[in-house]
Amino acid sequence: MAKKTKRDMAYYLDIDVSTLYNWRKHKPNLYRIVMLGFKFDEAIEQSKKNYESLLETNNIIKDEIARFK
């Protein structure tokens, strides 16, 4: 998943981009929480990719070990 733009975030939240900028300026705690939510989603996606990659590597190594037995 590519990093979301402010426009993508606003669309996802069903708000105008200017609302995000207003939150940043006038409601910094709300803006911070919303941005942390998006960052959390990115971290979850990255963790899934890392897990899948490690699982694939594990299977490759197991196959190589089995060939030498």
pLDDT of residue 17: 97
d(CA 23, CA 1): 25
pLDDT of residue 3: 81
pLDDT at 1 over 70: no
pLDDT at 2 over 90: no
pLDDT tens digits, residue range 20-59? Answer: 999 999 999 999 999 999 999 999 999 999 999 999 999 9
Query: Helix 6-13 and helix 28-67: axis angle, to 10°?
Result: 100
Of residues 11 and 1, more confidence is placed in 11
pTM equals 0.76
d(CA 59, CA 41): 27
